[in-house]
Structures are given as C-alpha cells and as structure tokens.
Chains A and B, each alone.
Chain A
Amino acid sequence: MKCQHVNKVCALLLTLLLAVLIFSGQSIAGNKIEHTDLVHYDMKSGEESIYTVEVNESHDQINALFAEVSPTLKSYSEFHFSPCLKKNRPDSVKGTYHLDSVKVEPSDAHMKQIASFLQLQNLGVQLTELAPGEDLLLMKQNSMLITLNTTDTLDMLATCKPHSKSR
C-alpha cells in the first residue's frame, strides 16, 4: 500500500516537473525555487494538511497545481487562471486572477471550498518584485504568500485589458 503511494507521488511529481518545464522555458535570474510545500495548520484544532504546489506565472496564463501528500495522497487539483494586472507601484502589480478552468478531487474539502469560492469571485492578487526573476505573490482574499520565479518583467505582467478579461 505504501509502495503504491510512493509510485503515485513519483507520477505526480513527474507531472508537476513536466508542467514546470513547459511553462518556464527561459532561465531564471534569481534563486530557482525547485520545490514548494503549502502547509495549512490550525492552532486550535491541531489539524495540519500539506500540499505540494507548483505555480507557473506568465503574462497571460497562471497554472496552479496542488497535490495533498499528507496524511493521505490525493490526486492533484488544477487551477488555471487568466490574469488582469495593472502596475500600482514601480515594484508591484495588482489586480485579479480569473478562474478559467478547475479540476478538483471531490473528496478534498479544502480545495473544493477554494474552487467554489473562486468560481464566484475573482482572486485578488498583488505581485511585488523582490529580485530579478523573483516575485512575491500575495493572494489577497486568503492572505496566502508565495515566491515565484518569473521570466516576465512587471511591465510585461501588467497587461490587463479590463473590458476583455475582467468580469
């Protein structure tokens, strides 16, 4: 049983790795982030969930893949967004991600809740430039933070056309 899990993890990580290779063809100037875990912990209940995450950011598409690896393996969830970002400071862009498509494991209550919310509401985000090739993404609605490797400059990311992309 454990071995099956390991195989599943391997297959999953391979999928994630392929996704990374597809969407990051150019070299990254900053430290290349090779692996990201998302840990959600509730101090009161002591509940903890750990996901492996891959987020690929480009000026017209964002792909976020989540795989819960603990305590039990669940198939990965996919979120595909189109961004609508505008430059709000010299070092920052701000706007929304519109959910284009989603694939969530029905038994994953946490991801299901996030997906339901995103189907109703665009995700408010802000990207702040930290170093060349490195951005800090703040997802405003759920206050999540993630550092992203990027090959696009902020000017390239700030290409929102409100009438065509935002709702």
Chain B
Amino acid sequence: MIIINNWKMDASRCTLAHQGTGETLRLGEFHFLLLEILITYPDTVLSREFLIAEVWKNRVVGSNSLPTAIHALRLALGDDSKQKEIIQTIPKKGYFLNSEFISYAENESLSQPVPNDVDLLINDNQERTLPETEAVPEAPARPLKSNRFSLRGRLGMLLAIVVMTATLGTLLWSSSRQQENKAEGTQLKYVEFPDVTHIKIGYLYEPDTDDTGSSAIEKNWHPLAVNLDTLLAKKNSSMKIYVYPSMDKLSLDLSLTNHCHQTWQVMLSIDNWQHDMDKLNNIITKHARRTLHEMPTCE
C-alpha cells in the first residue's frame, strides 16, 4: 500500500484515504493514473509529452489538461502552498514527485492475525516462514501424538483444501468477469427525475471508473432538468440528453423533438466544464432554447 503525504492510495477504487482524519477522496481515472505514474518514477523529471502519452493514451487532450490535473492532484494531496513540495514543476522540463513524501505500508489483509486453523496446513517437519514484519501471534505449542496426522487432522486438511480451492476458483472467476466487463466498453445508464417528464437523460461511463457519476448528475442536475422540462412543456416538445464527462471536457448530445415529430440535434462539447457550473447550465439551456426556436414550425 502506497502512502503519500499521509494519504493512502487505493488503486482498486481510485481513492485516497487520509490516515489521520479518515477522509476519503475519490479521484478521476486520469488523476489517479497520473499520480500512479509520478509515483512509479519518483525524483525523476517526467516531460509533459511523456505524461500525456501515458495518462491519456490516444485521446485528444487540450494544452491545459495536464496542468489542470497536476493542480487537482496538488489540491488533493494538500500540496497547494506556494512551495509545491510534493509535485514539483521544473520549468520547460516537466514535473517530478518528491520521494520524501512517499512511504509504503503493508496491505491491511496481511497484518491481520492468521487464524490458528492454518496450523493444519503446516507439515510437521516444515517451518512456516513469514515476512519479518508480519505480526502473527504465536500459536500455543501442541504436542503431537505421532508423526502421522490423525484421521481428524486429515479430514480437516481435506476440508481446508476444498475451501481454499473454492475460494481461489471464485476469485479467479470474479477476476475473469471483471476483465470481461472491462472489455465491454463504455456503459450507458439512465438517470430519472420523478418531476421531469419531457426529458430522458442517459449517462455514459467507463466500467470501474466513474459509475457513481449518475448520482452526481441526480444531485447537481435537477434544477437544470426542471428548467428545461418547463421550457419543453411550453413548446409541447421532448428531449433526450446523453452525457459523457471526462476530466476537462463535457460531451452532451441533445436531441429535441417537437410535437410534429421533427427532431433536431445539438452535439455540445464543453471544455473546462467544471470552471463554472451556473455558466454551464446557461450554455446547455441556451442551445436547447435556440434549437427549439430554430426548428421549423409544424404545418
């Protein structure tokens, strides 16, 4: 487990958990990947080109994407003072992560006491070697009746092997399922507001990265959805909205259908969309309103 400036990284959930306060921060897929890459090469100046290629792969990214992501990471790690000690900028060269802030801890699962049942798996003539740091309470010495296992011991061992095989099988199956899910590509989920009847909202997300985004939409988009719903109700129209957020860009697809079934579409691509949420809502509303206005009137 990697700890950086008291923030413990959890790669499976893309989160940082503060060791002192217990606060948990969820990072975006790219933010977390960027942090992982910086940590992989501590004290090494990594060029902007290298970081963009490693993090965003084949995506087209704006010139501000990397500085914005670095800024977000600094904020998350509490490195927002003027000094910028954790992630340092080397002008015209790139960025590096100061290794003094990195520490490593064992996985919590390893530091759990090992149940005594494990004894059953240890051969009489075999010593179990444990890592030096592993804190395992010493099991009380048990006199052995003979060098051979008793019937009970054999049954126990058999049972333990069966349980372990089943657990391993389940883990492998689960892992292969996750791999399959990853291969399935971008997912689509619909978000519903009970008081919004003229709009259908679909949210696109990458598996295992930001599937909680739909709850963020439910929380933040309700006023916008209600405003648009009122506008559409007045025009006797309906709209489908598909949303695909990434770190710097919000992509929307608005399909507006009037009461005589004419459909016009607006593909909205908004850079730096998190800059001002009120302004964002205004832009979406403006283009929905404009399109409704420009659509031909029904004969």
Contacts and interface: CB of A to CB of B under 8 A. Distances in A.
B283 A37 contact: no
A88 B184 contact: yes
Contact of B267 (A44, A117, A145): A145
Interface string A72-95: 000000000000000011001010
A31 B255 contact: yes
B58 A144 contact: no
B188 interface: yes
B245 to A, nearest CB: 8
A36 B204 CA distance: 20
Nearest to B291: A37
A145 B252 contact: yes
Given A43-B271, A145-B242, A31 B263 contact: yes
B259 to A, nearest CB: 12
A145 B261 contact: no
A42 B283 CA distance: 11
B266 A39 contact: yes
Nearest to B240: A147
Contacts of B183: 88
Nearest to A137: B253
A81 B58 CA distance: 18
Interface stretch (A9-17, A121-129, A157-165): A121-129
Contacts of B184: 88-89, 92
Contacts of A31: 255, 257, 261, 263
A39 B280 CA distance: 13
Interface string A90-129: 0010100000000000000000001001000100101010
Interface residues of B, number: 42
A37 B265 contact: yes
Contacts of A92: 184-185
Interface in B251-299: 251-253, 255, 257, 261-273, 275-276, 279-280, 283, 287, 291, 295
A138 interface: yes
B186 interface: yes
Contact of B60 (A35, A142, A146): A142
Contacts of B261: 31
B268 to A, nearest CB: 5
Contacts of A43: 270-273, 275-276, 279-280, 283
B58 A121 contact: yes
A146 B244 contact: no
Interface residues of A, number: 36
Given A94-B185, A141-B60, A147 B269 contact: no
B128 interface: no
Nearest to B64: A44
A5 interface: no
B65 to A, nearest CB: 12
A117 B60 contact: yes
B270 A41 contact: yes
B185 A89 contact: yes
Interface in A5-44: 31-44
B249 interface: yes
Contacts of B244: 138, 143, 145
A79 to B, nearest CB: 14
B185 A39 contact: no
Contacts of A136: 188, 202, 204, 242, 253
A44 B275 contact: yes
Contact of A147 (B64, B246, B265, B295): B265
28 contacts: A31-B255, A31-B261, A32-B263, A33-B255, A35-B295, A36-B264, A37-B267, A37-B287, A41-B268, A42-B272, A43-B273, A43-B279, A43-B280, A88-B183, A89-B184, A121-B58, A126-B186, A136-B202, A136-B242, A143-B244, A143-B246, A143-B249, A145-B244, A145-B267, A146-B253, A147-B240, A147-B255, A147-B265
Interface of B: 58-60, 64, 183-186, 188, 202, 204, 240, 242, 244, 246, 249, 251-253, 255, 257, 261-273, 275-276, 279-280, 283, 287, 291, 295
